[in-house]
Copies of this chain bind each other. A is one copy, B any other.
Amino acid sequence: KQLKNITILPGDGIGPEVIAQAEKSIQAIAYRYNHDFSLDYAFIGAHAIEETGSPFPEETLRKCRKADAILLGAIGDPKYDEKFESDLRPEQGLLALRKQLQLYANIRPIKVYDNLTHLSPLKEKRIKNVNFVIYRELTGGIYYGKKGRYENGKIAYDHCVYSESEIKRIAILAFEAAMDRRKKLCLVDKANVLETSRLWRSVVKEVAKKYPDVETSFLYIDNAAMQMMNSPAQFDIILTTNLFGDILSDEASIIPGSLGLLPSASIGRNSCLFEPVHGSFPQAAGKDIANPMGAILSVAMMFRHFEMEQEALEVERAVDLCMKEGIMTKDLEVEVHYSCSQLGDLIYSII
């Protein structure tokens, strides 16, 4: 019996509520498969600022470092919205977490549920068979380059920097993933304008040689932003930079018709983090109406990362069953809806 240490960062807004449901799935699997999961809790985001004065306290970093996996709820509080001068913003916690644990690959699967297609802004026939995964670089690029001002603050700059090794490590992950899927990989860049994109292209072409079975293609980000809406079913694995990935993965998240169902994983060499794609959604906090499926499916991604494939499938099947039966939270616009905690309980009992 193997012990897995999971550090839980409930975070802000609806974070703690959806995480509570995700924990129920962890317990159900532990019980059913006789696994041993040890859960430990830590602060992050606005909640952490209030409790400790820092959006990413030392103790949280320590607890994350020793964990086999981190489960995050959501980060963000409107109270800090326009406080750009300050380092004390919830998002700083997220950016510090990614950097310090070197979570270099953010992975977002996009799949469509047949009985939710009416919620998608895209026409039904366009989103048929959509099933792709975005690999977004998460610890480099313009997010982490030097930034500042000169000439009395009248000129601002942000430096975008990428190294061969930063590109290579995520490219390898993405090609490996393609091998397990439909063997298609598309690099999204802006190589007709950016030098960093030209480096991305040459490194990816180099890595591609080791994966002759993978059909590799290239799209400029402007074209990709169009294609993703025009014919999203063409994609299998999308590989891209931090900034382009931020944009594309949010754009992609409208395809299934609901943010609430989307899980994500962020992978580093020694750490990995799982979190729903949706934000802290403060308007819904404390009302037991949030959709816990994104968090629950993030738990499935965590099990898969633990190489507990059976357990991952179990969780995914339970979610699929609810979706098929129309057992959903209010955000999915069903006539009879269930609360966040009811869904968590139901998934628990299905497993």
Contact = CB atoms under 8 A, between A and B. Distances in A.
A253 interface: yes
Interface stretch (A54-62, A177-185, A243-251): A243-251
Contacts of A165: 154
A160 B159 contact: yes
A89 interface: yes
Nearest to A149: B195
Nearest to A192: B91
Interface stretch (A3-11, A220-228, A320-328): A220-228
A349 interface: no
Interface in A98-157: 120-123, 126, 142-143, 145, 147-149, 151, 153-157
A192 B89 contact: yes
A161 interface: yes
Nearest to A84: B198
A122 B230 CA distance: 9
A155 B148 contact: no
This protein's copies in its complex:
2
B147 A194 contact: yes
B250 A148 contact: no
A158 interface: yes
Contacts of A193: 91, 95, 142-143
A91 B191 CA distance: 11
A230 to B, nearest CB: 5
Nearest to A231: B121
Contacts of A221: 246-247
Most chain B CB atoms below 10 A, which of A91, A122, A145, A195: A195
15 contacts: A84-B198, A91-B192, A91-B193, A121-B123, A122-B122, A147-B195, A148-B195, A149-B195, A155-B161, A158-B195, A160-B160, A223-B250, A225-B251, A229-B229, A229-B251
